[in-house]
Amino acid sequence: MAQSVLLTGAAGRVGDAILGDLADEHEWRLVDRDPPTGEQPGEFVVADITDGDAVRAAMDGIDVVIHLAGDPRPEAPWDSVLTNNIDGTQTVFEAAVDAGVEKVAFASSNHAVGAYETDDRTPDMYRTHDDYLLDGTELPRPGNLYGVSKAAGETLGRYYHDERGLSVVCIRIGNLTEDHPPIDYERGQAMWLSYRDCAHLFDRCIRAEYGYEIVYGISDNDRKYYSIDRARDVLDYQPRDNSAEHD
Ligand SMILES: NC(=O)C1=CN([C@@H]2O[C@H](COP(=O)(O)OP(=O)(O)OC[C@H]3O[C@@H](n4cnc5c(N)ncnc54)[C@H](O)[C@@H]3O)[C@@H](O)[C@H]2O)C=CC1
Ligand SMILES: O=C1O[C@H](COP(=O)(O)O)[C@@H](O)[C@H](O)[C@H]1O
């Protein structure tokens, strides 16, 4: 059955990947502070996610929220991540609970755990002979303030699940690129997420049943230091791409 889905950050790259494959699969309401370019698959609300009134209005009649909006730069300064990523995410979770939304999928990041990539582990952990693996049960270990903001978003999700009854899945997205994995970048190849696997993963977040989860969002790359077992088990994520199959 089609569900009513609110997609924040719809005008960005991850939003583009999701809507590229799923435009006809659900009833979409799109939110971004940047106005749309071209035709959209649903109502487009131009709003900032830190504007509580606008976010509450956008939640009306919504079953599921995919929350992407935020500053995606690993080098983003504290004032930006505090406003866009932490305050904005709290505003979205709070409005979702108030509106009786069932589930929220939160775009977390590999950078929430970037500091596990210590000097003694790298670059081996990016290569197939190495078996170092993070599975989503480890504590956050950010290597920058952007990663801190994503860990904060995951913790907000934990609170809104435990105390406010929301189903929440946090996707620690790897490196999304269109058509092929990053070139000459071993780390990016190990955490590549293809556009079609990205769309499929978020489709599973819309359709699956869960309580509170943290999963990694990468394709089925030969070398991976993030496990996708939890995404497979809980969401029935079945990726089709593998960075090793590209030159
Ligand atoms: N692209 C990637 O490989 C990865 C992305 N992510 C996360 O996924 C999400 C989406 O990332 P991308 O699509 O790559 O970034 P993007 O910059 O292409 O898209 C983000 C969108 O959010 C909007 N936005 C930002 N702050 C906003 C605010 N306060 N109110 C309303 N709209 C706002 C922007 O206008 C933009 O359209 C981000 O939260 C990012 O941290 C996480 C890991 C990897
Ligand atoms: O969270 C994010 O991660 C990806 C991959 O990180 P990078 O440091 O290897 O580039 C990044 O491209 C994206 O912009 C960011 O939001």
Distance 70 CA to ligand 2 centre (A): 13
Question: CA-CA distance, 24 to 30, in Å (whole number)?
Answer: 14
Would you say 150 is a known binding-site residue? Answer: yes
85 lines ligand 2 (CB under 6 A): no
Q: Enumerate the active-site residues.
A: 146
**pLDDT value at residue 91:** 98
pLDDT at position 212, please?
98
* Mean pLDDT of all residues in 177-206: 98
The predicted pLDDT at position 2 comes to 74
Is 212 annotated in some ligand binding site? no
Cβ atoms within 10 Å of 86's Cβ, excluding its own: 21
The pLDDT tens digits for 38-75 are 999 999 999 999 999 999 999 999 999 999 999 999 99
161 lines ligand 2 (CB under 6 A): no
What's the confidence (pLDDT) of residue 1? Answer: 66
Domain that holds residue 114: 4-245
Evaluate: CB of 74 within 6 angstroms of ligand 2. yes
Percent of the chain with pLDDT over 90: 98
**Average pLDDT of the segment spanning 153-166:** 98
Please provide the distance, in angstroms rounded to a whole number, between the alpha carbons at the two ends of the chain.
39
243 contacts 190 by C-beta, under 8 angstroms: yes
Q: What is the pLDDT of residue 149?
A: 99
Beta carbon of 110 within 6 Å of any ligand 2 atom: yes
**What is the spatial distance between Cα 109 and Cα 154, in angstroms, rounded to a whole number?**
10
State the DSSP H helix or E strand holding residue 19, giving kind and residue range, or none if neither.
helix 13-22
Burial of 147 (0-12, 13-18, 19+ CB in 10 A): buried
Indicate which residue's Cα is closest to atom 14 of ligand 1: 13
- Please give the mean pLDDT across all residues of the chain: 97
Cβ atoms 81, 146 nearer than 8 A: yes
- Average confidence (pLDDT) over 83-111: 98
User: Which residue, by CA, sits nearest to atom 5 of ligand 2?
Assistant: 175
- As a whole number, mean pLDDT of residues 4-17 equals 98
Is 221 marked within a binding site?
no
Q: Which of 175, 183, 216 to mutate to test the pocket of ligand 2 (most atoms within 8 A of CB)?
A: 175
Which pLDDT belongs to residue 141?
98
Which band of pLDDT confidence, cut at 50, 70 and 90, is reported for residue 247?
confident
Q: Report whether residue 41 contacts ligand 2, using a CB cutoff of 6 Å.
A: no
CATH of residue 215's domain is: 3.40.50.720
Atom of ligand 1 at shortest range from CA of 173: 43
**Residue 139 — pLDDT band, cuts 50, 70, 90?**
very high
pLDDT at 191 (0 to 100) = 98
Please give the tally of structural domains in the chain.
1
Q: Is the pTM of this model over 0.95?
A: yes
